[in-house]
Structure 1
Amino acid sequence: MQMICHVNSSRTGHDKLVRLLQYTCKLLVNWSNDASGLHHLESTLGSARKLLRFGTFFESLEAAGKALNHRDPVIRMSTALSKLCNAVFLFTDHLIWLNSVRMVNLSRSKWSKISINAWFYSVLFSLVCDLYKLKSIVEEYSRNCRNISLPSLSFQGVLEAYDPLCGFLISSQRPLLINLIKNCFDIVLPLSTLGYVKSSSLSGLCGIISTSLSILPLLPAK
């Protein structure tokens, strides 16, 4: 309970918890005989998230600008494009929400497609960046052949005994691995909305897993 309160204390953490409930409802809708209530709750949670993140596209634009200062050209471009696409996704999402409350008049289907495609490319460029970082780290490790000292009676220690590279990545590159796995599950979500992934259950499950992984960095350190 204390950890939930800690996560919920920030806007980002609150959004993640609401997102987790939203995708849990999405998964349960496919398992329930009478899913009307769950479907309505999922829709309400989705609308609540749109309101809570209103205006946040400015933050993504700022992050895109900061990413242009990175010295590595691949990381610079992939991160900047990911943040820029996320800004487009959020901005169009704001417009769709304003249309839903009848403050602006626009073609909802047209702008929804733009929003979802921007969401997809945002996750895709982030995934490319993660894979590039992992590739660079593996190449650096192979050149240096560093020996990482890990406890012999730990999960990392067992992995290092079997595969030193695997043990090294888990012990020193855990945030990158978590983000990489999260993006692998995240990319299913826009593909599902675009109709390329047909299973709503799979979409709900991927949403739960990716959201749970995104909450991990927000938990207090032990």
Structure 2
Amino acid sequence: MDAFIRVSNQSQGRDRLFRATQHACMLLRYLLESKAGKEDMVMKLRSLESSVSTGRKWFRLGNVVHAIQATEQSIQVTDLVPRLCLTLANLNRVVYYVCDTVLWVKSVGLTSGANREKWQMWATRHYYYFLLLSLLRDLYEILLQMKRVAHDREKRRESSRDPPGYSVVHEEAEWLQSFLLLLLRSLQQHPPLLLDTVKNLCDILIPLNQLGIYKSNLGIVGLGGLVSSLAGLITVVYPQLKLKTR
């Protein structure tokens, strides 16, 4: 109950709850569309999905200010690579929220001059750039974490006097298996990095599909959005699991 109250008291938490509901409806709709006699349920899910999507737009109206603040903070990051990735990512997020606000103004009838298709394409493109740059930052952090884990393991092996020729990337297995094992252990030791990577990987399925770069069906997009939303909710409930900048 405390976790739910903590989530519902934050606009970001409410947006994550709405987003999880939206994509859960999308996934269920995909699973039920091919089944006979489920037409009414599919229509109800479609209606709920549309209502939740509209409600989420209200939560996002002030996000452009938060994105500007995040851009200012990312400029202060000491490490060059995360600083570049985060700053460019947040700038794209600012543009995305500006486009999203214009689309909201258009949807409520406050203006008739905006070209909805054009603004939607701009919003999707900048959202894609934001996620791509965020994933580049995640990749950089993963490589650093793998380097630390490999270094620690090498030191332990030297202290235990393993036989000559025993290396970090050769654990009685192929190189690829050793690499994947090192990757998994690195992510296991850094849960915030794992959550952020999973969230961004799932999120990027949406603009990839909308831009036609990689077409996915409704079920995959819905599942990806649901997993991403749940990962985001975890970081709201447990702030210590949010990936920090250095």
Q: What TM bracket, shorter-length normalisation?
A: 0.7 to 0.9
Q: Equivalent residue for 1:178?
A: 195
Q: Equivalent residue for 1:97?
A: 104
Gaps of at least 5 residues in structure 1 are 148-162
Q: Equivalent residue for 2:236?
A: 218
Once the two structures are overlaid, the 10-residue window that deviates more, 60-69 or 205-214, is 60-69
Distance 1:165 1:85 in 2: 29
Correspondent of 1:198 among 210, 216, 219: 216
Matched, 1:44 2:29: no
Q: Equivalent residue for 1:3?
A: 3
Matched, 1:84 2:59: no
User: Over the residues paired in the alignment, what is the CA RMSD in angstroms?
Assistant: 1.9
Distance 1:109 1:165 in 2: 41
Distance 1:190 1:4 in 2: 30
TM-score, reference length from structure 2: 0.77
CA deviation profile, 1:91-144 (whole Å, cap 9, x unmatched): 100000000111122000000000001111111110110110110122233334
Distance 2:22 2:89 in 1: 24
Distance 2:193 2:115 in 1: 39
CA deviation profile, 1:176-215 (whole Å, cap 9, x unmatched): 1111111111110111222332301100000011111111
**SS at structure 2 position matched to 1:54:** coil
The 3 A distance-change label for structure 1 pair 20 and 165 is closer
Q: Flag the structure with larger Rg.
A: 2
Amino acid aligned to 2:106: N
Distance 1:167 1:77 in 2: 27
CA deviation profile, 1:20-42 (whole Å, cap 9, x unmatched): 00101111121233222211211
Amino acid aligned to 1:210: S
Q: Equivalent residue for 1:139?
A: 147
Correspondent of 2:123 among 107, 115, 120: 115
CA deviation profile, 1:122-179 (whole Å, cap 9, x unmatched): 11110110110110122233334466xxxxxxxxxxxxxxx677445423x1101111
TM-score, reference length from structure 1: 0.85
What is the number of equivalent residue pairs in this alignment?
205
Query: How far did 1:73 drift?
Result: 1.5
